[in-house]
């Protein structure tokens, strides 16, 4: 299993790949939905961060949401037809960046041994980060499909690392190295 600092770098790499998929799009493209039972790229961006916060909060340290108003909207339990009223791109970006900073702070504290039960939490942090990275890539696949198929934009190359591969068409991190 990778060490937590390595996995945090892979988390950053996955997030950077996500940014390549959407940051050159217009706000209308980010909020456009192919149909009522489909989520916009912007929803996927918020959902990736929502899940990261939710998992870190519930598995390692209870802390409030950085944007409680987004919690219900970005939860995948919310049916797709109700995912249309998205926040601004700026708010989504702030949410994503705040969550990423919190992921780094909490999991960095675990890696540094600055928590109770550091050995146990290290195991949790390692598996948690693999799940977050693969979840990021899972939604990147869907973002990429809308980007290329529906909006006609070229896809960026896959991240430059030998730690990921494709499985069923999705990028995945090999948790063992």
Q: Give the pTM.
A: 0.95
Cα 1 from Cα 142, distance rounded (Å): 27
Model confidence over 131-149: pLDDT tens digits? 999 999 999 999 999 999 9
pLDDT band at 78 (very low <50, low <70, confident <90, very high): confident
Model confidence over 28-67: pLDDT tens digits? 999 999 988 889 999 999 999 999 999 999 999 888 999 9
- Could you tell me which residue, 81 or 121, shows the higher pLDDT? 121
- Amino acid 175: pLDDT: 67
Positive or negative torsion for Cα 149, 152, 154, 155: negative
pLDDT band at 127 (very low <50, low <70, confident <90, very high): very high
Mean pLDDT over residues 150-163, rounded? 96
What DSSP designation does 174 have? -
Note whether 36 and 82 are within 8 A (CB).
Answer: no
Cα 27 from Cα 71, distance rounded (Å): 21
How far is residue 114 CA from its own chain's centroid? Answer: 25
- Amino acid 61: pLDDT: 87
Cα 76 from Cα 50, distance rounded (Å): 10
Q: Tokens 């039972």 sit at which residue?
A: 37
Cα 173 from Cα 164, distance rounded (Å): 4
Q: Around Cβ 90, how many Cβ atoms within 10 Å?
A: 9
Model confidence over 102-111: pLDDT tens digits? 999 999 999 9
Q: What percent of the chain has pLDDT over 90?
A: 85
Q: Is the pLDDT of residue 177 over 80?
A: no
């Amino acid at each position: 299993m990778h060490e937590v600092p390595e996995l945090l770098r892979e988390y950053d790499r996955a997030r950077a790949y996500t940014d390549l998929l959407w940051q050159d799009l217009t706000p209308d493209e980010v909020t456009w939905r192919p149909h009522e039972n489909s989520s916009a790229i912007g929803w996927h961006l918020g959902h990736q961060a929502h899940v990261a916060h939710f998992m870190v909060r519930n598995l390692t340290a209870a802390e409030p949401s950085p944007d409680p108003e987004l919690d219900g909207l970005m939860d995948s339990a919310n049916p797709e037809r109700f995912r249309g009223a998205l926040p601004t791109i700026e708010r989504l970006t702030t949410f994503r960046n705040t969550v990423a900073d919190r992921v780094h702070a909490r999991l960095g504290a675990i890696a540094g041994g600055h928590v109770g039960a550091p050995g146990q939490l290290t195991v949790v942090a390692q598996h948690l980060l693999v799940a977050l990275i693969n979840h990021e890539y899972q939604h990147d696949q869907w973002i990429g499909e809308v980007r290329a198929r529906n909006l006609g934009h070229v896809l960026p190359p896959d991240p430059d690392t030998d730690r990921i591969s494709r499985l069923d068409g999705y990028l995945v991190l090999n948790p063992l190295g």
